[in-house]
Amino acid sequence: MFFGSIPAVITPFKNNKVDYESLNNVVEYLISNQSNGLVPCGTTGESPTLSHEEHKKIIEETIRINDKRVPVIAGTGSNNTIEAIEFTQHAEKVGADAVLVVTPYYNKPTQSGLYQHYKSIADNSNIPIIIYNIPGRSIIDMSINTMIKLSKLKNVIGVKDATNDLFRPVLTNKLMNSEFCYLSGEDGTALAYLAQGGHGCISVTANIAPKLCSDMHLHWRNGNISKAQEINLKLSTLHNALFLESSPGPVKYAAYLKGLCEAETRLPLVEISEETKKEVKKCLFENELL
């Protein structure tokens, strides 16, 4: 079971190339601040603009730097099922603990197509698979019935739920096996998701405030609800600031301010506006992160 605060790790770039030295800095920073896992090559890691070689090397390097200290959930999704199988098999081979597979974007498959996509990946691997349901980026929304059907496959073990529908974990919890793992994909409602039966959050904000995010989840698990609420309130303006423009633009700028890496993103993402920069910087100071 995966739980707690799991950063969706940014991919540092320098002169349009992956900056592996800074990736080392980022991973060490996240682990040393009690993150409960790592997700390389997800949306926050700008996976759509990575070459196959870069994608695989980033996962390999994250696993190497981590050295089994926390679980690594490798992003291996694609709108091309064959490609997703290849990435998943690679992640399994190099020692990832699980994979995160996004619903196929752009193609707009039916619910039957979604089922067959994930079934093909599951049939061709043995590694635990977490469904990544994010209609805001993929357009399609996996139905509860499709998720229930997929949960019966041998290695489909959980969901990263970025629908912001807080009724969904309650509805699915009643119908799925008790081992199924529920991870929020929305920082702003992560605590509310825990209250609805969730186990953790794959987080953007945890790149910048890993200890605060981890502490919030720890207080929740220990039953210290008021303390968890206090941290959640404290982080609320930062959550908002990090999504004023398309992620990971704002979070990479925040990482730059903290000296972790350059703020560089790859086209079609561009440098964030001066107004957004001011808001991000202000929130970092407010949370004593600078």
The number of residues making up the chain comes to 290
pLDDT given for residue 251 in this prediction: 98
Between the CA of residue 284 and those of 46, 113, 191, 235, 250, what are the distances in Å?
Answer: 23, 43, 20, 10, 12
Name the residue among 93, 77, 18 with its Cα closest to residue 53: 18
Residue 173 has a pLDDT of 83
Q: Is-contact 26 261, C-beta < 8 A? A: yes
CATH of domain 4-224: 3.20.20.70
Q: Which of 160, 193, 253, 277 is catalytic?
A: 160
Q: What is the DSSP pairing of strand 200-203 with strand 156-161?
A: unpaired
pLDDT confidence of 118, banded at 50, 70, 90?
very high
Q: What is the pLDDT of residue 1?
A: 81
pLDDT computed for residue 283 by the predictor: 97
For residue range 67-115, list pLDDT tens digits in order.
Answer: 999 999 999 999 999 999 999 999 999 999 999 999 999 999 999 999 9
Q: Which of 29, 115, 118, 132 is catalytic?
A: 132
Instruction: Report yes or no on whether pTM surpasses 0.75.
Output: yes
130/22 Cα distance (integer angstroms): 27
pLDDT (tens digit per residue) in 168-188? 999 888 888 778 999 999 999
Is 31's pLDDT higher than 90?
A: yes
Active site residue 160: yes
Domain definitions of the chain by residue range: 4-224
DSSP code per residue over 67-106 = TTSS-BEEE---SSHHHHHHHHHHHHHHT-SEEEEEPPTT
The average confidence (pLDDT) of the chain is 97
Catalytic residue at 152? no
Closest by CA to 63, choosing from 100, 32, 92, 34, is: 92
**pLDDT for the residue numbered 64:** 98
Three-class DSSP category at 199: coil
Q: Is 261 helix (H, G, I), strand (E, B) or coil?
A: coil
> Could you tell me the CA-to-CA distances from 145 to 111, 117, 141 in Å, in that order?
9, 15, 11
**pLDDT by residue (tens digit) across 35-58?**
999 999 999 999 999 999 999 999
167 band by pLDDT with thresholds 50, 70 and 90: very high
What backbone phi and psi angles, to 5 degrees, belong to 164?
A: 65, 20
